[in-house]
Amino acid sequence: MSSTSEVSAARYGKDKIRVFRIVREANIQHVVEYNVCALLEGDIDTSYTQADNSVIVATDSIKNITYFFAKTSPHILDPEKFALHLGTFFVSKYAHVHKAFITVEQLRWARIAVDGTPHPHAFWRDGDDKRITSVEVDATAGKDKLVGKVTSGISDLLVLKSSGSAFENFYKDEFTTLVPASDRILSTAVDLSYTFAPIALTPPADEKKLDFAVPVDVPGNGVPAGGLVGGPWDGPGVAARARKVTLDVFATDESASVQATLYKMAQQLIAQNTHIASVTYSLPNKHYIPVDMRYLGIDNLTPANAEVFAPVAAPSGLITATVTRIQQ
């Protein structure tokens, strides 16, 4: 039977690989907790079209390799480098695998401060936000010409301010019921992601040794010469600055709208991180509605007297934008 359809895209692997790793030093221990997704692309169409399992590296093996790298990779504490290392291995080891997609979601474990001193091996979950990195290792130009594409960010960073936010002078027509607010609650769960300029990766000289050659910048990838902050893969540094600038701008901006505050966050993030090409923010506007108590003769509606609010789960606004560096 002649076929009227074909596989036009295929990618498979293991999702939600939960990894916790301890790195022990003499007087201090470091821990990370990751949820890893490792997906592969390549010459795998026959596994779909002809039930040809010979091209399938089992997702169980992909899981085992992820744990093996969690044990052996010198980059385990740095999610960008760890993901690049793992992805480089898949495309280097398997001839028919041309791309690896590794996503690492990092959960927070901060040191407990005992009388102000960070404890060497006791930690607490100091926030529900996650640090996320998505790495593509692309070997389509050749196994010796690997390109790493990295997008990282933060999700679920829940914030609220009880003042310092207004929303006025918006478009008005017959559908408008919203009352302009000069002082309102602003709350959002920040999702943000930023894209690094792509880099060339040198494949490991000896795949069994699993050493990771230091990535070098791709010529013409838009990275300003000598302009890298803390080296090309200072992923942890960028993530810390992104979190700080987001929280600082959120707190201190006299917000005219979610849109205007978003733009200020993005502008500063790009200004502070010279190898970030663009940043995307996604900000739900989580509404808090003052409770109408007029039936009790109580004013809880006029701005100065609005003190009791009903947090509204849905609907929420949703404000998104991508802000991109202008190449000078």
Active site residues: 14, 259, 287
* Interactions with ligand URC, residue window 178-197 (CB under 6 A): 178
Q: Which is nearer to ligand URC, 259 or 300 (CB)?
A: 259
Q: Supply the DSSP string of 229-251, one letter for each residue.
A: SSSTT-HHHHHHHHHHHHHHHHH
CA-to-CA separations, 100 to 22, 92, 115, 323, in angstroms, rounded: 26, 10, 45, 27
The CA radius of gyration of the chain, in Å to the nearest whole number, is 24
Question: How many residues make contact with ligand URC (CB under 6 A)?
Answer: 8
Phi, psi of 311, rounded to the nearest 5 degrees: -65, 130
To the question of whether residue 258 is assigned a binding role by annotation, the answer is yes
Residue 236 binds to ligand URC (criterion: CB under 6 A): no
Residues 6+ apart with CB under 8 A from 59: 12, 13, 14
Q: Which is nearer to ligand URC, 82 or 250 (CB)?
A: 250
To the question of whether residue 216 is assigned a binding role by annotation, the answer is no
Reduced to 3 states (helix: H, G, I; strand: E, B; else coil), residue 79 is helix
Selected binder of ligand URC within 134, 193, 257, 280 (CB under 6 A): 257
To the question of whether residue 64 is assigned a binding role by annotation, the answer is no
Residue 282 binds to ligand URC (criterion: CB under 6 A): no
Q: At closest approach, how far in Å is the CB of 258 from ligand URC?
A: 4
Residue 285 binds to ligand URC (criterion: CB under 6 A): yes
Q: At closest approach, how far in Å is the CB of 255 from ligand URC?
A: 7
Q: Is the peptide bond before 203 cis (omega within 30 degrees of 0)?
A: no
Instruction: Please name which of 218, 231, 240 lies closest in space to residue 275, comparing C-alpha atoms.
Output: 231
Q: Which stretch binds ligand URC (CB under 6 A): 47-55, 91-99, 255-263, 298-306?
A: 255-263
To the question of whether residue 20 is assigned a binding role by annotation, the answer is no
Q: Which is nearer to ligand URC, 193 or 257 (CB)?
A: 257
Phi, psi of 58, rounded to the nearest 5 degrees: -55, 145
Residue 167 binds to ligand URC (criterion: CB under 6 A): yes
Q: Which stretch binds ligand URC (CB under 6 A): 10-18, 120-128, 155-163, 253-261?
A: 253-261
The H or E element containing residue 68 is helix 59-72
Tell me the C-alpha distance between 99 and 90, whole Å.
Answer: 8
Instruction: Please name which of 41, 31, 45, 94 lies closest in space to residue 65, comparing C-alpha atoms.
Output: 94
- The burial class, CB within 10 Å (0-12 / 13-18 / 19+), for 314 is exposed
Instruction: Please name which of 285, 265, 313 lies closest in space to residue 181, comparing C-alpha atoms.
Output: 285
- The burial class, CB within 10 Å (0-12 / 13-18 / 19+), for 22 is exposed
Q: At closest approach, how far in Å is the CB of 267 from ligand URC?
A: 17
Q: At closest approach, how far in Å is the CB of 285 from ligand URC?
A: 5
Residue 258 binds to ligand URC (criterion: CB under 6 A): yes
Q: Which is nearer to ligand URC, 239 or 306 (CB)?
A: 306
* Interactions with ligand URC, residue window 300-319 (CB under 6 A): 317, 319
List binding-site positions for O2. Answer: 285
Q: Which residues bind ligand URC (CB under 6 A)?
A: 167, 178, 257-259, 285, 317, 319
List binding-site positions. Answer: 59-60, 167, 184, 258-259, 285
